[in-house]
Chains A and B, each alone.
Chain A
Amino acid sequence: MLNALWQSARYRASSLIWVVLSLALALGLVMLVERLRDGVRDGFSQSVANIDLVVGAPAGDVQLLLHSVFQLGAPTQSIPLARLEQALTQPSVEWWVPIALGDNYRGHAVVATQANYFEHLTPNGFSQGQAFEKSGQLVLGARVATKLDYSLGQSMRVAHGQAQALGDQHDQLTFELVGILKPTGGPIDNAVLIDIADFQTLHIDPLRPTPPAAANAALVGVTAPFALFQLQRQLTAEPDLTATLPGVALSRLWSVFGGAERALELLSLALLVCAGLTLLAQTMSQVERRTREMALYHAMGAPLRYSLGLPIVESASIGLVSWAVAWCLLQVASTLISEWLQQSQGILLPQTGVTEFEGALLVCSVVAPVLLSVLPHWLAWRRSQLNSLERL
Chain B
Amino acid sequence: MLTSLPWRWQTDRMLICSNLTSLRVDISFPTIEVTEGQRILISGASGSGKSTLLNLMAGLDTNYNGQVQLLDLDWNALTAAQRQQLRADHIGIIFQSLNLIPYLDLIDNVELPARFSAIRRKAADRSATELLDRLGLPARIHRRKPDQLSLGQRQRVAAARALYGAPKLILADEPTSALDSHNAQRFIDLLTESMNLDNQSLVMVTHDLSLATGFDRHIHLDVGHA
Interface residues of A (CB under 8 A from B): 3-4, 7-8, 10-12, 292-293, 296-304, 306, 385, 387-390, 392
Contact = CB atoms under 8 A, between A and B. Distances in A.
A244 B117 CA distance: 75
A293 B112 CA distance: 12
A3 B55 contact: no
A392 B95 contact: yes
Contact of B51 (A300, A302, A303, A389): A389
Given A12-B103, A306-B115, A390 B51 contact: yes
A226 to B, nearest CB: 64
Contacts of B91: 301
Interface stretch (B30-38, B80-88, B129-137, B209-217): B80-88
Given A300-B112, A301-B91, 20 more contacts: A4-B103, A7-B103, A8-B103, A11-B103, A298-B84, A301-B116, A302-B88, A302-B115, A302-B116, A303-B116, A304-B80, A306-B115, A385-B60, A387-B60, A388-B60, A389-B55, A389-B95, A392-B96, A392-B97, A392-B99
Contacts of A11: 102-103, 145
A7 to B, nearest CB: 5
B15 to A, nearest CB: 16
B45 interface: no
Interface of B: 1, 51, 54-55, 58, 60-61, 80-81, 84-89, 91, 93, 95-97, 99, 101-104, 108, 112-113, 115-117, 145, 173
Nearest to B171: A389
Contacts of B81: 303-304
A385 B55 CA distance: 11
B34 to A, nearest CB: 17
A123 B145 CA distance: 64
Contacts of B87: 299-301
A377 B108 CA distance: 24
A297 B117 CA distance: 12
Contact of B101 (A296, A303, A390): A296
Nearest to B98: A392
Contact of B88 (A292, A293, A301): A301
Contacts, number: 79
Nearest to B103: A11
Given A10-B103, A389-B51, A392-B97, A300 B116 contact: yes
Contacts of A10: 103
Contacts of A299: 58, 60, 87, 93, 95
Contacts of A390: 51, 55
A323 B5 CA distance: 44
A382 to B, nearest CB: 12
B116 A306 contact: yes
Q: Which 8 A-B pairs have the closest CB atoms?
A: A301-B88, A11-B103, A301-B87, A388-B60, A392-B95, A7-B103, A8-B103, A301-B84
A7 B104 contact: yes
24 contacts: A4-B103, A7-B108, A8-B103, A11-B102, A12-B103, A297-B116, A300-B87, A300-B88, A300-B112, A301-B87, A302-B88, A302-B115, A303-B84, A303-B116, A304-B80, A304-B84, A306-B115, A385-B60, A389-B58, A389-B95, A389-B173, A392-B95, A392-B96, A392-B97
